[in-house]
Structure 1
């Protein structure tokens, strides 16, 4: 019985390398290491890049919704948005319909930086998956998206 292909393998015969979660985490660390190093000159973390990308795709998003999209607690989103705002990368603009709420937007500087960062992230993505063929890379991405939706 092949432990990798069987869902009923005895726990005593499972190796760490046979666990999907372990393999995903190792791959994530490898991918993030490239991004962290490449973003270092910009003094930006992957979570901040993700926030900028979400703002680009969802102009006017509320802070609570940004926190959900990033899978972080709302207080963490406050700190993250404060940093982006202090660096003039994001803007809080009062809602016209609910004066108590603020929508989040990219600033022009944020848009410009995000375009640079996307190119860097894409390069890191390709470096991280260099051992895969284009077809394998597409399949891996498809399967990971499927896991995220389940």
Structure 2
């Protein structure tokens, strides 16, 4: 009897279990990050969508409202309300776009950005500790994996938005 068949089936089961554990881990991470973001928003008196947009402006700004709405997956009218709240709260400013005076750019006010960074400092410190347990090649692989998963998440989001 050929013993390679049971070994191959066992290896395939083990692989499926590992992939399932990765998907479960990503779902757990998504939930925990959402809960943390919600708590941060509560402390800063920001709605969840406002905090998400603030993060996007921080990462990609200065950014135009149309580009921000696309990145956030929000209708432009909804984004206008978000930006109005963020501006009233002193989180962002809208300035004329130097390359097109008819358009505006949104940017985060740096002194307020520090408040958000402080709220995530415990998690960032914990992540630094976790990363210290891996060598550079492992961190490179983890980084590549996370970026690839994020790209596929964006692709799945775009596909759902178009259907």
Q: Which has the larger radius of gyration?
A: 2
- The alpha carbon displacement at 1:117 in A equals 1.2
In structure 2, C-alpha distance between the alignment counterparts of 1:43 and 1:67, rounded to whole Å = 21
Q: TM-score, normalised by structure 2?
A: 0.62
What's the Cα RMSD here?
3.4
Please list the CA deviations of residues 15-36 of structure 1 after superposition, one character each: whole Å capped at 9, or x if unmatched.
Answer: xx92755542222111222332
Q: What are structure 1's unaligned runs of at least 5 residues?
A: 7-13
Structure 2: stretches of 5+ with no match in the other structure: 1-9, 153-163
Does 1 or 2 have the higher relative contact order (CA < 8 Å, sep 6+)? Answer: 1
Q: TM-score, normalised by structure 1?
A: 0.66
Contact 1:31 1:128 in 2 (8 A): no
Q: Matches of 2:130 and 2:115 in 1, distance apart?
A: 25
How many correspondences in the alignment?
A: 138
What is the deviation of 1:130? 7.6
Q: Deviations over 1:51-94 (max 9, x none)?
A: 33433344431101112223333333222212101212111223
Q: As a proportion of its length, which structure holds more helix?
A: 2
